[in-house]
Amino acid sequence: MSRPFGTLPSSAKVSPTPFTVSIPKIQLDELKTLIELSKLAPHTYENSQIDAKYGVTTDWLVAMKDQWLRSYKWKTSEDRINSFPQWTTEIEGLVIHFVGLFSEKKDAIPILLCHGWPGSFLEFLPMLELFQKEYTPSTLPYHLIVPSLPGYTFSSGPPLDRNFGTRDIARVLDQLMKNIGFESGYVAQGGDIGSRIARELAVDYESCKAVHLNVCFMGRPVGITDDHLNDKEKLGIQRFDNFKTLGCGYMTEHGTRPSTIGHVLSASPIALLAWIGEKFLEWVDEPLSPEHILESITLYWLTETFPRSIYTYRQNFPPVPIPAPNDPRWYIKKPFGFSSFPQELAPLPRSWIETSGNLVYWGEHAKGGHFAAIEQPEALKTDLVKFVDQVWPGITSTK
């Protein structure tokens, strides 16, 4: 008997394998031992700054290490993950894991949700929970599919014998959507690296009919000045400039020496906690709970995600020129929606964003940061639903 929301449409071309997370006790015991034995750095001027201007503080790392050992329970996270239907399927020799909520409605709209780094499918679980509470399988107006990108969590890593990047990920995800029954069309949503993948899906694949993003990394469009911008928009540009100046050290390491940092962070769970925990502290509007941070780090550790997941950063080195807004490799001709959150890494003005695509929907919010699906799931869900309900009738009428 299938689980609620767990029946794929009859148009599916493949029968994915149902998946349940089950981490062996030996792995959990090893993790606990490594946490216990992990040595912390001595106190320094830099790691003693309470504003964390130089990175995570010793006090924070000590407190998180203690909570990881004393009170955090992976079994609770595992049970939560397993409360959602999951599958694996093979595409181009890669095992792709995905979470999904499938509707029984014949006219349900397929939506592909693309995470980024240091995220995972966990990012979208709060949104899926909202859909589960609002609808039943027979009333859900959408099919919601959340894949683990190649190299992340329960998906296999990218190939070892050739280069692999976001265009390859887009090709694999487009094939996933076709395989599970949505060759006639779907909507893609993404943030972080997922925004680049979603954009490439919209530009390169006919089956991706529309795209919704919550971040757009771009330079100043030609001919646009600050004269017409309000103070909030100017602060957003300043935030992006500050990120490019002071917040990109990790990106340079990922892009230029992924092998080295991959080995380093595979040797100590505390090192992984410091490296990724910093992002969960800095890239948000309001602090994420320690439990969420530990859940994400634990998942990364248990699945050896970090060294397998940072390959896309190599695309940025040597630095590539920002494409012109009308570059066909960049410009979204299809319906394009956007959600703007003030503490995003690049909270750029609408006048900039609309030069990069056929912007037909704009949602602007007073709260939220880079991890919008975690921080503001209700707001992101509302925007996505409004956008999809606005554009899909026109899409279906032109099929």
- The kind and range of the H/E element at 112 are strand 109-114
Strand-pair category, 109-114 with 186-190:
parallel
Alpha carbons 168 and 158: distance in angstroms, whole number: 9
Residues with a known catalytic role: 192, 313, 370
Alpha-helical segments (H) within the chain: 25-37, 58-70, 74-82, 125-134, 166-179, 193-204, 231-246, 249-256, 258-265, 269-282, 290-302, 305-309, 350-353, 372-375, 377-397
Strand partners, 109: 142
295-to-228, 290, 301, 393 alpha-carbon distances in Å:
43, 8, 10, 39
Q: Which residues pair with 87 in a beta bridge?
A: 18, 98
- What lies within 8 Å, CB to CB, of 172 at 6+ separation is 91, 92, 94, 96, 150
Distance from C-alpha of 269 to C-alpha of 37, rounded to nearest angstrom: 10
Give phi and psi for 211, each to the nearest 5.
-140, 140
Within 8 A by CB and 6+ apart from 315, the residues are 165, 166, 255
Q: In the numeric block, which tokens belong to residue 87?
A: 């599958």
What's the first-to-final CA gap in the chain, in angstroms? 35
Separation between Cα atoms, residue 257 and residue 259, nearest integer Å: 5
Between CA 114 and CA 188 the distance in angstroms is 7
